[in-house]
């Protein structure tokens, strides 16, 4: 076994690998960029080595620097995590040439599976079911249109060296194909240094289901069940689970056996994932093989009881697996929700900023993998993932219930995030029923998400909780010393509470330190409130049912959150409400002519000039962020008055790009 390993990665996966290595008594070396000098993963490691400036191309992707770091620290092996150099054949070869063990598969397997064109051919030869398509790279638009007519629309344009949803476009007609071809090639070149793309049939209403394989250097290979990864947005996974609610035992076995056959065909060892798309009739087709640890590996660990990082290290050190396929048993159900710094209401665009508050959930059956702590900065240079919230239960319903509670428990302030969106997903009837496909988010939510209005019984609960909180503040204020003599006591027993524009009259009486008798909505309620002023997250029991809320102080009340819903909840005395009703509403300014940057990024190109007439939806410029190209379009007809940026400029979120008259 190794004494010291270097982790050629950052963020939550570096923290996760360090955790297992330390449990095994192995020292770790962190490598870091200028932007990560004070990051959690650097502090967790036993040693650290500076790589260079923030851009990955000058730090985490420089093979020579990482090899030099191994030599300088005496690290005997390198774990690449996922992303960065984890699937680079040249990295594995450079380590081997330096006498350093790569904790992953052999270079030839990385090479074979890292190229989607080659991997499809090898999969077909190994007897794995594959999607109809054209096996070779295509670059000419006219040829692409001809091939697509043979394959049949819709077709998927895919980067040969791609991954993570980059360099992928779906086309339903020749015009979309030509535009998608150019976009996919540009993204592929920017992300992977390889602009080759190929075409294959796009299977409609598919599920994305992947098989986890584990193989050693002695010829043993097992599959550890499957992961359902169909809840995706723009080909990026959002919510994963194990096992899949769709597969039966026969399909699971067939997919697992084909996955192992492919692994054996390429001489694979270590952990790896064979991804399939599955149609509504449970016909499955090979998609790709990821020759590394997957982001969603925790759900497999939770249902199998295995530590995949530990197994990868042991395999790299030459150990046998020590168990067979018959020994693999799945226990219960697990979910993983990816918490991202992003703006769901603005089309899920990446967000940057400081985590002013970050309190992850901590209850039974909950696991949180993260690489940040409160006060850390989420920058524009790397993936905007904040944490992976995972839950495990005896049944799928148990795991979903625990996930809903865990998301209610997750406190995040200071930066846009998708926690409310994730809470909405796990509460969605279709998701609870297991009725999903890769188009689920697009079908149910469109291209953006805003919490639904708080109405009905939910509004009543918000009002009751807010009134109890406001009354508690009033009671505490009466106990303050030094008050002016002669001031009459304030009886905090009746309020007008506004939730989502609805006024709810609430009367209440404090029976005990935490127990309130409340009249609201024409009914009597009994509330136990576990809240103290200044507390953000708290529990409440309303009429015997438990709830978790979050509260932030705002003018005249609280911004309350629960179950993916949020609402400003205003609490007024009856006299204050009478006066407020006489106030004139402030007119809103017309900002429709100002085009701002939806996120921080790099201006790739500007398509308009001052004086140009533009129409609603017309392309104005292309902004690259997180290696993805985003088209910024006009939101109304007009004439371009100013253009504030040019190609190559770096802009902050909300920077003015173009103004229209």
- One domain for residues 39 and 57: yes
Place of tokens 């999969």: 123
At 63 the three-state DSSP class reads: helix
Sorted by sequence, the CB contacts under 8 Å of residue 207 that are 6+ apart come out as 228, 230, 244, 246, 277, 278, 279, 436, 437, 438
Q: Does 354 map to a domain?
A: yes
For the stretch 329-379, pLDDT in tens is 999 999 999 999 999 998 888 888 899 999 999 999 999 999 999 999 998
Q: Does 497 map to a domain?
A: yes
Q: Does 628 map to a domain?
A: yes
- One domain for residues 462 and 349: no
Measured in whole angstroms, the distance separating CA 264 from the mean position of its chain's CA atoms is 32
What integer pLDDT is reported at residue 501 of this predicted model?
A: 81
C-alpha 332/C-alpha 242 separation (Å) is 9
Residue-range definition of the domain harbouring residue 85: 4-103
* Residue among 288, 301, 336, 629 flagged as catalytic: 288
Q: What is the CATH number of the domain that holds 467?
A: 3.30.700.30
What integer pLDDT is reported at residue 486 of this predicted model?
A: 62
Last residue of a domain, one of 580, 606, 641: 580
C-alpha 321/C-alpha 265 separation (Å) is 19
Cα 282 to Cα 74, 209, 235, 248, distances in angstroms: 50, 11, 20, 9
- One domain for residues 57 and 95: yes
For the stretch 103-113, pLDDT in tens is 999 999 999 99
ω into residue 243 within 30 of 0, thus cis? yes
Q: Which pairing describes strands 628-633 and 613-614: parallel, antiparallel, or unpaired?
A: unpaired
What integer pLDDT is reported at residue 484 of this predicted model?
A: 67
Sorted by sequence, the CB contacts under 8 Å of residue 13 that are 6+ apart come out as 81, 82, 293, 295, 369, 371
pLDDT averaged per 10 residues, the chain (length 661): 97 98 98 96 98 94 98 98 95 98 97 87 93 86 93 90 78 93 89 87 91 97 98 93 97 98 97 95 93 97 98 98 96 98 89 93 97 93 94 98 98 95 97 95 93 93 95 82 64 85 91 90 94 95 96 95 95 87 81 85 91 91 79 90 92 89 87
- One domain for residues 262 and 397: yes
What integer pLDDT is reported at residue 580 of this predicted model?
A: 84
Say what the pTM is: 0.84
Last residue of a domain, one of 180, 201, 222: 201
What integer pLDDT is reported at residue 576 of this predicted model?
A: 86
For the stretch 12-43, pLDDT in tens is 999 999 999 999 999 999 999 999 999 999 99
Last residue of a domain, one of 201, 224, 250: 201
Domain count, the chain: 5
Instruction: Decide if 556 is catalytic.
Output: no
């Amino acid at each position: 076994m190794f004494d010291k390993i270097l982790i050629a990665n950052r963020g939550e996966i570096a923290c996760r690998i360090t955790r297992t290595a330390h449990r095994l008594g192995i020292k770790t070396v962190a490598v870091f960029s200028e932007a990560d000098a004070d990051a959690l993963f650097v502090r967790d490691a036993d040693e650290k080595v500076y790589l260079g400036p923030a851009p990955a191309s000058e730090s985490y992707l420089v093979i020579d620097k990482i090899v030099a770091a191994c030599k300088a620290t005496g690290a005997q092996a390198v774990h690449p995590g996922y992303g960065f150099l984890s699937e680079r054949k040249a990295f594995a070869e450079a380590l081997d040439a330096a006498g350093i063990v790569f904790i992953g598969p052999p270079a030839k397997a990385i090479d074979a599976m890292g190229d989607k064109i080659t991997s499809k051919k090898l999969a077909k030869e190994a007897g794995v079911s594959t999607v109809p398509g054209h096996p070779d790279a295509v670059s000419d638009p006219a040829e692409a249109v001809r091939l697509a007519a043979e394959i049949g629309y819709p077709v998927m344009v895919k980067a040969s060296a791609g991954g993570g949803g980059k360099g992928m476009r779906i086309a339903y007609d020749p015009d979309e194909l030509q535009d998608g071809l150019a976009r996919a090639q540009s993204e592929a070149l920017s992300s992977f240094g390889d602009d080759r793309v190929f075409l294959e049939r796009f299977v409609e209403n598919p599920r994305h289901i992947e098989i986890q394989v584990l193989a050693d250097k002695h010829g043993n290979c097992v599959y550890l069940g499957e992961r359902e990864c169909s809840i995706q947005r723009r080909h990026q996974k959002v919510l994963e689970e194990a096992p899949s609610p769709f597969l039966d035992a026969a399909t699971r076995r067939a997919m697992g056996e084909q996955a192992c056959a492919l692994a054996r065909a390429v001489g694979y060892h270590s952990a790896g994932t064979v991804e399939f798309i599955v149609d509504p009739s449970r016909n499955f087709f090979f998609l790709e093989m990821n020759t590394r640890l997957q982001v969603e590996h925790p759900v497999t660990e939770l249902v199998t009881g295995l530590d995949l990082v530990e197994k990868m290290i042991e395999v790299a050190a030459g150990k046998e697996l020590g168990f067979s396929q018959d020994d693999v048993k799945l226990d219960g159900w697990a979910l993983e929700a990816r918490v991202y710094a992003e703006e769901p209401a603005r089309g899920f665009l990446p967000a940057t900023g400081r985590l002013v508050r970050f309190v992850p959930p901590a209850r039974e059956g909950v696991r949180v993998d993260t690489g940040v702590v409160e006060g850390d900065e989420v920058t524009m240079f790397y993936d905007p993932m904040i944490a992976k919230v995972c839950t495990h239960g005896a049944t799928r319903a148990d795991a979903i219930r625990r996930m809903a509670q865990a998301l209610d428990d997750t406190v995040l302030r200071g930066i846009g995030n998708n926690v409310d969106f994730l809470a909405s997903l796990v509460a969605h009837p279709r998701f609870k029923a297991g009725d999903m496909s890769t188009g689920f988010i697009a079908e149910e939510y469109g291209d953006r998400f805003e919490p639904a209005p708080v109405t009905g019984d939910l509004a009543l609960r918000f009002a009751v909780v807010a009134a109890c909180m406001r009354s508690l503040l009033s009671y505490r204020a009466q106990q303050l010393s030094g008050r002016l003599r002669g001031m009459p006591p304030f009886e905090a027993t009746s309020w007008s509470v506004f939730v989502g524009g609805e006024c709810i009259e609430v009367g209440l009486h404090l029976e005990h330190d935490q127990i309130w008798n409340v009249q609201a909505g024409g009914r009597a309620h009994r509330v136990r409130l576990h809240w103290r002023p200044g507390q953000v997250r708290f529990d409440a029991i309303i009429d015997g049912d438990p709830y978790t809320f979050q509260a932030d102080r705002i003018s005249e009340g609280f911004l309350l959150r629960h179950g993916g819903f949020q609402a400003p909840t205003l609490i007024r005395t009856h006299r204050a409400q009478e006066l407020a009703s006489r106030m004139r509403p402030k007119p809103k300014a017309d900002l429709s002519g100002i085009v701002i940057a939806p996120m921080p990024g790099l201006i790739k190109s500007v398509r308009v000039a001052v004086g140009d007439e533009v129409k609603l939806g017309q392309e104005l410029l292309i902004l690259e962020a997180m290696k993805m190209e985003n088209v910024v379009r006009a939101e109304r007809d007009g004439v371009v008055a100013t253009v504030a940026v040019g190609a190559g400029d770096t802009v902050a979120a909300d920077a003015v790009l173009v103004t229209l008259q």
